[in-house]
């Protein structure tokens, strides 16, 4: 596998030169998506080399029977897997009787991939010499329409270079696909119906068990030198799950022949009759036309960039990195549909299954809040509200909690827990805290309180009830403790009194308590409705406060730090810098017990608490804790460097902040962890955005106002970003000399720079 081969470019991801060792990595990096569907950058034509095939449809999953070595009571029966969806991109190409296959060609020149992030399309071009002596130039453009989000388009163009060619185009759609990570090698798709009419074809299949019905469709047109030949297929092959049609053309040397394939999916989540939906989708796409759809695509992406772009001046790799992150986040989730969420691999791979982790609340919501309409973040919150009953059932059924206590799942699609490691599934319960925190954070950022009486308060009550029951009173300590948890640092399992967990548990109870009081005063009808629905009593609230008011927090007075957990100082405290490099990454080099008893930290844990709740701590406390824990942090999670980058920036450790920033922003592009071929780390990409906005920009919301304390790495000339703050769009540009603000909107806004108020008027530049 190759690392670090992507060409630096401000706006595009570019690969040059064909190398089989890069194919799977590039399939991930050049993935495209439009929020509703997406796919890896698999070749359209046959490829007999190493490849990882993947197309994905948002919200469509398969409950794969749990596989474990030793069953533990309370494990879920299924793991909801991201499904490899039917293939609609395939086009076999036969040239002068030989199948075009880059793994078989005698020479490949000028091979180039480009993912144009500015305009939202992907292009692949090359010149190939085939075994039969034919030389061809090929250029393929593909995009998934933001405009018609059930539709993708391919223009596959071939130019014979050294002789005339008989070309057979064999576009197909195929539901006979499998998942690489299927637990039991089961088939996930049950074929229902195939239909072909002229240049159109449809394969309808449904997922086993979940019965999501999907019609995969295609429509093909063959062109010569840009002119539609209006060909009909000369042949077609149909099985129960696959349709292939064939078009024959004779192409003179130097002429451009092409096939335009329109394809995609219609799904039963959105259509009563998916076949009819598919026919309409083709009709719409043909009406608008390939060229116009591409224009629309460019325009739609321009709108996205207008709001969410971050510019970095003087550091093209950093610039490319941040744009790649922003681009992927927008490909994965556009926030239109509260049934959807942000999968950890987006549409770039299968790994980790599920769609929803605590990553959404802890890392992604800030990005979507600041770069989209507030409805997008509200949809993400509503997703959890809609799954509250299942979270209550989860706490009840699997974990013996009572009284409406809710434990949100570690990994989920439909609200049911999928994961099956006791130390994670049952013990990494801090996730519940992040879900409550996101409600607070949403209100703090958007000022929209209405979500809380409408929906959020019920979620908060379920969560507060969980923490109340999960803590127990230690007679020995005369305080409440939380035993047997896994914190954000998953290199510790089944520990007692994880500082972060205890802190967020207390915070959740207190915050919920406050919101109940506030809703009682300001939304009495909602209060009445909710109190009745969840059967909440004053006695119960008093019991909550006993726990939150007397929570135990492990700390070391000598070191002036909070302890990640009880007993942390018993460890053999060798610093990461003193650890032999050959031992890293420790999770690949060491057995799990060794990882666990080591002091090494996978990702921010105590420091995650300082990140979420910084106003609860002094800067001196941050400094002591940061210096202590950073020295033990190995950052073997993609979610780790961003939090450290933000805190390093706050502590004026700018070199460190910059190093962490680069690591997070180019994690996939440079393939630091040698695993990008499995897919990209989508959710951590929001952390990259935070590193700039909250780290270097120092953006915070306090008392309904935007605050900044901008800093700039010495490696950069300048950077800028935009924030949609309550429908006012503030642009901030930072250089080594000054800080500039501008504003789109009608009325002025007061922002704070290093705690000084700055009035920014619409359409005028303020220089600080």
Specify the residue, 583 or 709, whose C-beta has the smaller distance to a second copy: 583
Q: Which residue in 361, 490, 675, 694 is the catalytic one?
A: 490
Buried b (16+ CB within 10 A) or exposed e, 172-194: bbbbebebebbeeeebbbebbeb
Q: With binding defined as CB under 8 A, does residue 569 bind a second copy?
A: yes
CB 447 within 8 A of CB 97: no
Q: Would you tell me how many other CB atoms lie within 10 Å of the CB of residue 399?
A: 18
The nearer residue to a second copy, 66 or 386, going by C-beta atoms, is 66
Select 315 or 428, whichever has its Cβ closest to a second copy: 428
Cβ at position 631, least distance to a second copy in Å? 15
Extract the tokens encoding 762: 């619409």
Minimum Å gap between C-beta 81 and a second copy is 13
Residue choice 389, 454, 566, 715 for contact with a second copy (CB under 8 A)? 566
Our finding on whether 476 is near a second copy (CB under 8 A) is yes
Is 553 near a second copy (CB under 8 A)? no
DSSP state of 406: -
**Residue nearer to a second copy on the CB measure, 589 or 674:** 589
Tokens representing 698? 């120092």
Q: Which of 567, 727, 737, 765 binds a second copy (CB under 8 A)?
A: 567
Coil, strand, or helix at residue 734? strand
Take residue 456 and report the two structure tokens written for it: 């959020």
| Rounded Cα–Cα distance for residues 251 and 229 (Å) | 12
Give the footprint of a second copy on residues 496-525 (CB under 8 A).
496-497
Pick from 25, 28, 87, 493: which binds a second copy (CB under 8 A)? 493
What gap in Å lies between CA 60 and CA 46, rounded to an integer?
Answer: 26
Over the window 533 to 552, marking each residue x when it contacts a second copy by CB under 8 A and - when it does not, the resulting string is: --------------------
Residue 132 binding a second copy, by CB under 8 A: no
Which tokens in the block code for residue 167?
Answer: 């070309």
**β partners of residue 13:** 115
Evaluate whether 409 touches 418 at the Cβ level (below 8 Å).
yes
Beta strand residue intervals within 161-276, DSSP E:
165-174, 189-197, 200-207, 213-224, 227-228, 235-238, 242-251, 257-267
* CB contact set of 713 (below 8 Å; sequence gap of 6+): 654, 657, 658, 661, 696
Nearest of 427, 402, 564, 596 to residue 499 by alpha carbon: 564
Does 560 bind a second copy (CB under 8 A)? Our answer is no
Please say which residue, 135 or 489, places its beta carbon nearer to a second copy.
489
Phi, psi of 161 (to 5 degrees): -100, -30
Does residue 591 bind a second copy (CB under 8 A)? yes
* Alpha-carbon span 352 to 80, nearest angstrom: 10
CB of 492 to a second copy, least distance (A): 9
Residue 176 touches a second copy, criterion: CB under 8 A: no
Assess whether 627 carries a catalytic annotation. no
> Given candidates 132, 162, 225, 472, which one binds a second copy under the rule CB under 8 A?
472
* 193 sits near a second copy (criterion: CB under 8 A): no
Measure the CA–CA gap between 630 and 628, rounded to whole angstroms: 6
Residue selected from 43, 217, 327, 422 as contacting a second copy according to rule CB under 8 A:
422
End-to-end CA distance of the chain: 48
Rounded distance between C-alpha atoms, residue 458 and residue 452, angstroms: 8
Q: Which span (212-220, 408-416, 495-503, 667-675) binds a second copy, by CB under 8 A?
A: 495-503
Binding mask 199-218 for a second copy (x = CB under 8 A): --------------------
Interface with a second copy in residues 47-76 (CB under 8 A): 66-70, 72-74
Q: How far is the CB of 387 from a second copy (least distance, A)?
A: 20
Q: Are 95 and 130 in contact (CB under 8 A)?
A: yes
Binding segment toward a second copy, per CB under 8 A, in 334-342, 372-380, 418-426, 605-613: 418-426
- Residue 597, interface with a second copy (CB under 8 A)? yes
Answer yes or no whether residue 399 interacts with a second copy by CB under 8 A.
Answer: yes
Regarding 762 and contact with a second copy (CB under 8 A), the answer is no
- Of 112-120, 211-219, 420-428, 501-509, which part binds a second copy (CB under 8 A)? 420-428
Q: Residue 141, SS3? A: strand
Interface residues toward a second copy, by CB under 8 A = 66-70, 72-74, 398-400, 420-423, 426-427, 472-477, 481, 483-484, 493-497, 566-567, 569-573, 587-597
Active site residues: 490
């Amino acid at each position: 596998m190759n690392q670090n081969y992507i060409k630096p470019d401000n706006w595009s991801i570019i690969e040059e030169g064909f190398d089989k060792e890069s194919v799977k990595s590039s399939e991930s990096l050049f993935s495209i998506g439009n929020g509703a569907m997406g796919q890896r950058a698999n070749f359209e034509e046959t490829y007999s080399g190493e490849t990882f095939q993947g197309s994905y449809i948002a919200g469509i999953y398969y409950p794969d029977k749990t596989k474990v070595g030793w069953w533990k009571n309370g494990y879920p029966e299924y793991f909801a897997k991201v499904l490899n969806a039917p293939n609609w991109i395939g086009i076999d190409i036969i040239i002068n009787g030989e199948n075009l296959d880059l793994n078989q060609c005698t020479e490949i020149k000028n091979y180039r991939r480009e993912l144009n992030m500015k305009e939202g399309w992907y292009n692949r071009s090359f010149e190939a010499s085939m075994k039969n002596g034919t030389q061809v130039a090929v250029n393929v453009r593909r995009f998934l329409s933001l405009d018609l989000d059930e539709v993708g388009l391919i223009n596959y163009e071939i130019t014979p270079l050294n002789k005339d060619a008989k070309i057979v185009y064999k576009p197909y759609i195929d539901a006979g696909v499998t998942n690489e990570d299927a637990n039991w090698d089961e088939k996930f798709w049950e074929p229902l119906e195939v239909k072909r009419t002229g240049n159109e074809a449809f394969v309808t299949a449904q997922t086993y068990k979940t019965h999501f019905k999907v019609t995969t469709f295609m429509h093909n047109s063959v062109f010569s030198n840009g002119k539609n030949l209006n060909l009909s297929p000369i042949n077609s092959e149909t099985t129960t799950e696959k349709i292939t049609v064939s078009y024959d053309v004779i192409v003179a040397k130097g002429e451009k022949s092409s096939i335009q394939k329109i394809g995609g999916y219609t799904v039963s989540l959105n259509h009563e009759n998916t076949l009819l939906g598919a026919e309409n989708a083709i009709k719409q796409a043909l009406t608008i036309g390939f060229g116009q759809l591409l224009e629309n695509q460019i325009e739609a992406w321009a709108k996205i960039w207008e709001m969410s772009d971050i510019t970095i001046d003087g550091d093209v790799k950093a610039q490319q990195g941040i744009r790649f992150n922003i681009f992927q986040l927008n490909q994965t989730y556009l926030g239109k549909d509260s049934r959807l969420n942000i999968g950890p691999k987006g549409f770039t791979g299968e790994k980790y299954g599920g769609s929803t982790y605590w990553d959404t609340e802890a890392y992604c919501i800030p990005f979507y809040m600041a770069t989209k309409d507030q409805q997008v973040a509200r949809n993400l919150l509503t997703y959890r509200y809609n799954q509250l009953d299942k979270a209550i059932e989860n706490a009840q059924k699997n974990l013996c909690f009572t009284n409406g206590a809710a434990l949100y799942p570690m990994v989920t699609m439909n609200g049911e827990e999928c994961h099956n490691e006791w130390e994670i599934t049952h013990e990494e319960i801090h996730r519940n805290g992040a879900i409550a925190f996101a409600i607070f954070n949403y209100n703090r950022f958007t000022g929209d309180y209405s979500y809380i009486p409408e929906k959020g308060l019920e979620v908060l009550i379920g969560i507060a009830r969980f923490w109340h029951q999960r803590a127990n009173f230690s007679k020995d300590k005369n305080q409440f403790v939380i035993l047997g948890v896994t914190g954000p640092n998953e290199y510790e399992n089944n520990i007692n009194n994880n500082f972060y967990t205890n802190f967020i548990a207390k915070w959740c109870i207190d915050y919920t308590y406050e919101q109940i009081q506030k809703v009682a005063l300001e939304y009495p009808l909602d209060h009445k409705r909710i109190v009745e629905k969840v059967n909440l009593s004053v006695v119960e609230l008093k019991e909550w406060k006993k726990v939150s008011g007397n929570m135990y927090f492990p700390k070391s007075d000598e070191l002036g730090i909070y302890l990640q957990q009880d007993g942390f100082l018993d460890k053999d405290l060798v610093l990461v810098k003193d650890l032999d490099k050959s031992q890293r990454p420790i999770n690949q080099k060491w057995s799990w017990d060794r990882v666990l008893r080591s002091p090494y930290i996978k990702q921010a844990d105590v420091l995650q608490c300082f990140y979420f709740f910084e106003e609860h701590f002094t800067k001196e406390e941050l400094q002591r804790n940061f210096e202590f824990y950073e020295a033990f942090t190995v950052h073997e999670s993609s979610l780790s460097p961003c939090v450290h980058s933000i805190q390093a920036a706050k502590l004026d450790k700018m070199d460190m902040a910059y190093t962490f920033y680069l690591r997070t922003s180019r994690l996939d592009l440079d393939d630091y962890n040698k695993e990008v071929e499995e897919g990209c780390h989508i959710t951590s990409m929001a952390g990259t955005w935070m590193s700039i906005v909250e780290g270097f920009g120092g953006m915070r919301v306090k008392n309904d106002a935007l605050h900044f304390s901008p800093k700039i790495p010495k490696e950069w000339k300048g950077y800028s970003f935009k924030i949609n703050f309550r429908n006012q769009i503030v642009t901030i540009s930072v250089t080594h000399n000054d800080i500039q603000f501008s504003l789109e909107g009608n009325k002025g806004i007061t922002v704070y720079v290093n705690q000084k108020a700055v009035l920014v008027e619409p359409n005028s530049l303020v220089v600080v």
